[in-house]
Amino acid sequence: MNQEQEGSVRVAHLSDLHYSNGNLVEADRCFDHAVTRVISEGVDLAIISGDLTDHKQDAHSTALLRLMGAIRRLADHCPVLILQGTFLHDYPGMLAIYRFAGGKFPVETVDRIGQVALVGNQWRCFSAGDPLDGVRLLVSCIPTVNKADLVSSVGAQHVSDAMGDVLAGLMQGMFAQQNLAARAAGVPTVLVGHGTVSGSMTEHGVPMAGKDHEFSLGGLYAAQACATMLGHLHRHQSWQRVIAEFVQRVAYPGSIGRFHYGEEGKKGFLLWTVAPSTCDFVFHETPAREMVDLIFEGAPDMTWLSEQAGSCVGKFVRETLINGPTSEVAGEMASNFLDDEANRRSIQ
């Protein structure tokens, strides 16, 4: 379903930008590419599902200034919704400043559980019983949840097991009826969240099994939203179910760029088409850097390194040396040689 449907909206879903001065080249190149593509596609709105920064940023930092500029460019095209991510990355209180990015359309930030509606091109808080007249999209929001908030009610020893159950019950009890009413009224519905789905895979290929994760697929489906747009995991992955011609899809776009060694798969973002009873998405790749591991047993072969240097321009390269007392010296020698060769070839 990549074609327009009556009553549908087109949503750009981006996540895990991880802007920082250390990540700036990668994050800015990939996010800038994504924003340009989103604008050219003419989407109706954009959702960023958390972790915009890698850690707390100073107000005058280059990374934050570039991020604000990109958000402004996006908001000049369409309304933007930003969800609170992991507290380590989206430092508490950081989201508030994105509202001041400016732009032709509003930037809405959400740091607590609830629903917002897109009415025309404006974001409005939505509560049970509110009229759906003029609503183009109803969005249910589950930002990062602080497990410490559950300690008083379930006890510290049960917090991990309780998290998924609490959120599943909340999504069914708080969101389901409003989403069912929206669907009946012909309004598309989205659930946006930040966390881990039990049974998902990390960017390094590790399955996330167990009860200590925020979401289960059953709990997400119980919210009765058509499209579920998630952030947190850096690997693109998705699930779906169809019941009585009602299509529900759950997806992570993955991180916008490649920020760690060993991350598998392509990097990018999703362009969704969401209708009241069905949805679909298309994955769009960003120009994320490749990461190369060079492993040597003993002293590195300088001739072979020279041959490889040309293919390493613009890539993240890590040298690993095993066996031998001169590993540290050889590693520094290989790194310096490879950098010199790559720089020389990039200039030619």
Q: What domain count does the chain have?
A: 2
CATH code of the domain containing 106:
3.60.21.10
Residues 188 and 97 in one domain: yes
Which of 269, 285, 301 represents a domain boundary (last residue)? Answer: 285
Residues 278 and 340 in one domain: no
Residues 76 and 164 in one domain: yes
| Positive/negative CA dihedral, 13, 16, 20, 24 | negative
Does residue 1 lie within any of the structural domains?
A: no
pLDDT of residue 167: 82
Domain range for 97: 9-285
Pairing of strands 107-110, 122-126: unpaired
Q: What is the pTM of this model?
A: 0.85
Residues 175 and 295 in one domain: no
pLDDT of residue 298: 74
Does residue 236 lie within any of the structural domains?
A: yes
Residue of 184, 187, 209 whose CA lies nearest to 196 = 209
Per-residue pLDDT of the chain (348 residues; tens, 9 = 90+): 344 566 899 999 999 999 999 999 999 999 999 999 999 999 999 999 999 999 999 889 999 999 999 999 999 999 999 999 999 999 988 999 999 999 999 999 999 999 999 999 999 999 999 999 999 999 999 998 776 666 555 556 656 666 777 788 888 999 999 999 999 999 999 999 999 998 898 888 787 765 556 798 999 999 999 999 999 999 999 999 999 999 999 999 999 999 987 788 899 999 999 999 999 999 999 999 987 877 777 777 788 888 778 787 777 787 777 765 444 444 454 555 555 555 544 433
Which of 263, 285, 307 represents a domain boundary (last residue)? Answer: 285
pLDDT of residue 316: 76
Does residue 331 lie within any of the structural domains?
A: yes
Residues 216 and 235 in one domain: yes
Residues 267 and 321 in one domain: no
Residues 32 and 122 in one domain: yes
- Would you say 192 and 226 are in contact if contact means Cβ atoms under 8 Å apart? no
Please enumerate in sequence order all residues whose Cβ is within 8 A of that of 283, keeping only pairs 6 or more positions apart, or say none.
236, 253, 266, 268, 269, 270
Does residue 2 lie within any of the structural domains?
A: no
Please enumerate in sequence order all residues whose Cβ is within 8 A of that of 33, keeping only pairs 6 or more positions apart, or say none.
286, 287
Residues 133 and 254 in one domain: yes
Q: Could you give the C-alpha distances from 88 to 18, 113, 115, 254, in angstroms and in order?
A: 11, 19, 24, 18
- Would you say 283 and 268 are in contact if contact means Cβ atoms under 8 Å apart? yes
> Residues 170-213: pLDDT tens digits?
889 999 999 999 999 999 999 999 999 988 988 887 877 655 56
Residues 233 and 275 in one domain: yes
- Would you say 284 and 271 are in contact if contact means Cβ atoms under 8 Å apart? yes
Residues 190 and 223 in one domain: yes
Residues 74 and 96 in one domain: yes
pLDDT of residue 339: 57
In the chain, the amino acid numbered 137 is L
pLDDT of residue 345: 47
Residues 227 and 312 in one domain: no
Does residue 163 lie within any of the structural domains?
A: yes
Which of 236, 265, 285 represents a domain boundary (last residue)? Answer: 285
pLDDT of residue 213: 63
